[in-house]
Amino acid sequence: MARYIDIEDVRRITAYDLDEDTISDERLTHILDFAISELNQTLGLKVIEEKVSYIDRYRQNKIDGSNKTFYVKYSFDWYLGDLDCDGNLDTNDIEVYIYDPNDNTRT
């Protein structure tokens, strides 16, 4: 999955003034990793525990034991973000729990 920005993007944005003689790929990677983490911490807002519920006729969120696709109701207001700050938005950035109403636990 693509990162927000990569080494080639930085070199192109700077009109290649930051070539490998100026800064190594390794050093530039460290800077990008730091910048991604700072961006996420500064701009990100963590939305916690949205209950799965009906949204519309296309995103019904039926809990029927076989459905494995669910939609985030507030996705247009609260976008999913890079929780682990690796520069990718993927399944590692989403936490899903199943609640047991009998003992109020989640797994």
Q: What is the pLDDT of residue 2?
A: 54
- The strand pair at 105-106 and 99-100 is best described as antiparallel
- Give yes or no: residues 58 and 29 share one domain: no
Per residue in 53-90, pLDDT tens? 888 998 898 888 888 888 888 766 666 778 888 878 78
Statement: the pTM of the whole predicted model exceeds 0.75: no
Per residue in 10-57, pLDDT tens? 999 999 999 999 999 999 999 998 988 888 888 776 666 778 888 899
Q: Which of 11, 27, 43 is the last residue of a domain?
A: 43
> Left, alpha or beta for 102 (phi > 0: left; psi -120 to 50: alpha)?
alpha
Question: Domain limits at 31?
Answer: 1-43
- Give yes or no: residues 38 and 52 share one domain: no
| 3-class SS of residue 106 | strand
Q: What whole-number distance in Å separates Cα of residue 66 and Cα of residue 13?
A: 47
Domain count, the chain: 2
- Give yes or no: residues 55 and 97 share one domain: yes
Residue in 95, 92, 83 with CA at minimum distance from that of residue 40: 83
